[in-house]
Amino acid sequence: MPFEIIDGSKMAAEIRKEIKAEVEDMKARTGKVPGLTTILVGTRPESQTYVRNKKRACKDVGIASFSYDLPEDISQKKLLKIIKESNRNPDVHGILVQLPLPAHIDEAAVQSAISVEKDVDGIHPMNIGNLVMRGRKPLFIPCTPKACLEILDRLKVKIEGRRAVVVGRSNIVGIPVAMLLLHRNATLTLCHSYTQYLPAKTIDGDILIAAAGKPGLIRGDWIKHGAVVIDVGINSVEDPTSEKGYRLVGDVVFEEAQYRASAMTPVPVGVGPMTIAMLLRNTMDSANRFLSGKK
Ligand code: NDP
């Protein structure tokens, strides 16, 4: 059976090109460009890398970035004040707080403090609520779930009437991606750490989304022949042969999956670059909404 490695980097480059043209057009018409505030608390190396990549992507397409690198011990009050200032700043159309936050900060309070109209990560309860309910439209869809659907759509994968299996039920990935697939009329199975006989569930999926954060959890023979597999997991595993001493792997054993799936995203260059592209898309759409007065 033919097998396609889904090129997330190439897809993301196409989207960045589209957005760059839109930014240039906006600048020519209005003299303004979209703006994104990124807030990083602490010095976790992965978070620093993610934020650096997001800022670089903004720069590439002409989106202005306003960044805050805050100390690990910043108080919740000070963090909320920065968010409120960004909520008021007319040059800012999107606010991203890199997760996870230190334990002394209430993540839910931070998520709720971001203006619904600037919540480009789609984590405000109002946006999530509207995403979950039928017939409602959130202002923003969280970037990784949006990336998964964008990949399926760009590959012209039929969703309606097909079986979709999602492994993982986090607020930021598993639940929203499951809801998006359900709203597109897939028959949905949502698995989590209490699911029994997981392979018997995953084998049913015409579309399989793995978002458990467990390296190599899903083996080749857990996958339906011909399934499209989106591996969201990014896991660091020890690798003495690599220069850094580690390498990044997904939740699915790629070497086995290629003999069962018809197409699959590799890790880290599958969903990762598409997630950043969706952040740019959300920021662009937000700026358009603000500048057209439709917010
Ligand atoms: P969380 O840790 O918040 O959620 C993991 C989910 O997986 C939970 O719902 C958990 O179940 C479930 N789970 C864990 N172990 C198993 C198991 N053995 N069997 C079935 N389900 C299991 O992670 P996130 O959703 O934030 O992220 C998931 C992965 O995606 C991570 O590797 C993360 O790094 C990656 N990621 C990648 C992004 C990208 O751009 N490519 C962006 C965001 C995340 P329960 O609810 O019962 O605990």
- Average the pLDDT over 169-190 and give the result: 97
The pTM assigned to this predicted structure is: 0.96
Among residues 98, 111, 146, 231, the one annotated as catalytic is 98
Closest CA to 151 of 20, 257, 54, 14: 14
**Model confidence band, residue 295 (pLDDT cutoffs 50, 70, 90):** low
What sections of the chain are H helices per DSSP? 8-30, 45-61, 76-88, 107-113, 125-132, 143-154, 174-183, 198-202, 254-257, 271-291
Q: 70 in ligand 1 pocket by Cβ < 6 Å? A: no
* Per-residue pLDDT tens over the stretch 217-264: 999 999 999 999 999 999 999 999 999 899 999 999 999 999 999 999
Closest CA to 252 of 237, 265, 242: 265
Q: 217 in ligand 1 pocket by Cβ < 6 Å? A: yes
Cis-peptide into 268, omega within 30 deg: yes
Closest CA to 90 of 23, 32, 30: 32
Task: Give distance in angstroms: CA of 208 to centre of ligand 1.
Answer: 14
Q: 191 in ligand 1 pocket by Cβ < 6 Å? A: yes
Structure tokens at 120: 């480009």
- Residue with the nearest Cα to atom 19 of ligand 1? 193
Q: What pLDDT is stored for residue 250 in this prediction? A: 97
- Average the pLDDT over 187-201 and give the result: 98
% residues pLDDT > 90 (the chain): 98
pLDDT at residue 47 greater than cutoff 70: yes
Q: 193 in ligand 1 pocket by Cβ < 6 Å? A: yes
Best residue for ligand 1 mutational test, from 11, 234, 235 (most atoms within 8 Å of Cβ): 234
What atom of ligand 1 comes closest to residue 275's alpha carbon?
Answer: 40
Structure tokens at 125: 């309860």
Q: 34 in ligand 1 pocket by Cβ < 6 Å? A: no
Q: 142 in ligand 1 pocket by Cβ < 6 Å? A: no
Q: 271 in ligand 1 pocket by Cβ < 6 Å? A: yes
Structure tokens at 256: 């086995």
pLDDT at residue 294 greater than cutoff 90: no
Task: Give distance in angstroms: CA of 221 to centre of ligand 1.
Answer: 21
Q: 120 in ligand 1 pocket by Cβ < 6 Å? A: no
**Model confidence band, residue 293 (pLDDT cutoffs 50, 70, 90):** confident
- Residue with the nearest Cα to atom 22 of ligand 1? 193
pLDDT at residue 1 greater than cutoff 90: no
Q: What pLDDT is stored for residue 159 in this prediction? A: 98
Best residue for ligand 1 mutational test, from 192, 217, 219 (most atoms within 8 Å of Cβ): 192
Q: 169 in ligand 1 pocket by Cβ < 6 Å? A: yes
Q: Is 54 assigned a catalytic role?
A: yes
What integer best gives the mean pLDDT of the chain? 97
Task: Give distance in angstroms: CA of 249 to centre of ligand 1.
Answer: 13
Among residues 119, 121, 206, 285, the one annotated as catalytic is 121
Strand locations in 192-257 (E): 207-210, 228-231, 235-238, 246-249
Q: Is 55 assigned a catalytic role?
A: no
**HSE-up (13 A, CA, CB side) for residue 225:** 2
* Per-residue pLDDT tens over the stretch 52-68: 999 999 999 999 999 99
